[in-house]
Amino acid sequence: MKLTGVELRWVSMPLVSPFRTSFSTQTARELLLLRVVTDEGEGWGECVSMTSPLYNEEYIEGAADVLRRFLVPALAAAAPFDAATVGSALEPFYGHRMAKAALEMGVLDAELRAEGRPLSRELGAVHDRVPSGVSVGIMDSVDQLLDAVGAYLDEGYVRIKLKIEPGWDVEPVRAVRERFGDDVLLQVDANTAYTLSDARQLARLDAFDLLLIEQPLPEDDLFGHADLARLITTPVCLDESITSARSAAAAIRLGACSVVNIKPGRVGGYLEARRIHDLCVAHSVPVWCGGMLETGLGRAANLALAALPGFVLPGDTSASGRFYATDITTPFVLEDGHLTVPTAPGIGVDPLPDELAAVTTRTEWIPA
């Protein structure tokens, strides 16, 4: 196909409640959407970078800049292209994986829509429903946390993930276990908030039979994670550290993790995410699909990925209502703790014009 142009669309999505992690508190999700227009049709991509470089080095305005100045022109120059060649066309530009992932997602959506094929089938999905977990932010009090967890369990979520940080770790986890019992699938996420010197404190979490502890140490500290994995019995899962299949292979070989969280935006796109999945399956490492507070567009694509056979743990593919009172697509609704994988061509969903217009703050057209 040949590129006609890319529309950048900035949206601001109010959250139903503040979402606090070890590095930020969000009351609204600012996102950059891409409408990729080709000679064969158009598709949608979603850039999951934040407004500031707090999760990783990327941020929305940086993503917009690299798209308009480098990535979109490079893809236009590579014509004719298909989704499988987007990666090689963008490879000369270092980093900016979230921007690259958004552009690849838009091309994938356009290509598969034109061919009448769903993304799930293209990636190799084997399930038509995906078990849904929920990520619970840091709260002002343990009582507030218990109320939130209880409400999510009542909704039917099959796994609870608690955000933790120094000073908010053992006590909230103990409280959740004591209130809701040992049968609840429970894990924690530190978002790089600890160092290896905190190993003794983190080892106290071993008593609670957690599924995993996610990214306890800084993203560049693979050796530290390997050391920590030998000091605690809770399985170590890596998130921010995994940026490609190559980095995943290194982490597995070093013993830095025994579980991997795959986020397509973080690794440069859904095709690289599939490569990481295949690598982990080959090494008997379980994977699950992380979330970045996506709209229904990104959520649909994540569900297609999470339906692959190696995704044996419930992911952060929660219902639309977990974060948004009104989504920009037909909302995803929890049914028996699961979400249905879209089967329509491409990512399987379309933005609703009125809802999209209501949250759009500006647009920009980048001609090819």
Locus of tokens 């994540």: 302
**Residue 316 near residue 111 (C-beta atoms within 8 A):** no
With both helix axes pointing from N to C terminus, report the angle between 222-231 and 245-254 in degrees, rounded to the nearest 10: 40
**Contact between residue 17 and residue 364 where contact means Cβ atoms under 8 Å apart:** no
Asked if residues 129 and 339 have their Cβ atoms less than 8 Å apart, the reply is yes
Contact 260, 276 (CB under 8 A): yes
Q: Helix, strand, or coil here: 329?
A: coil
Query: Which of 2, 100, 161, 163 is labelled catalytic?
Result: 163
Instruction: Name the amino acid, one letter, at 328.
Output: I
Residues 99, 221, 19, 325, CA torsion sign: positive
Residue 2 bears catalytic tag:
no
Quick check: helix, strand or coil at residue 66? helix
Whether residue 10 contacts residue 360, with contact meaning beta carbons closer than 8 Å, is answered with: yes
DSSP H or E stretch at residue 13: strand 3-20
- Axis crossing angle, helix 296-306 with helix 97-115, rounded to the nearest 10: 80
C-alpha–C-alpha distance, residues 49 and 61, integer Å: 9
- The first and second tokens of residue 131, run together, are 């078990």
Give the active site residue among 2, 100, 161, 263. Answer: 263
Task: Quote the DSSP letter at residue 235.
Answer: P
- Write phi, then psi, for 3 (nearest 5 degrees): -85, 130
Handedness of CA 293, 19, 97, 228 (dihedral sign): negative
- Active site (catalytic) residues: 163, 263
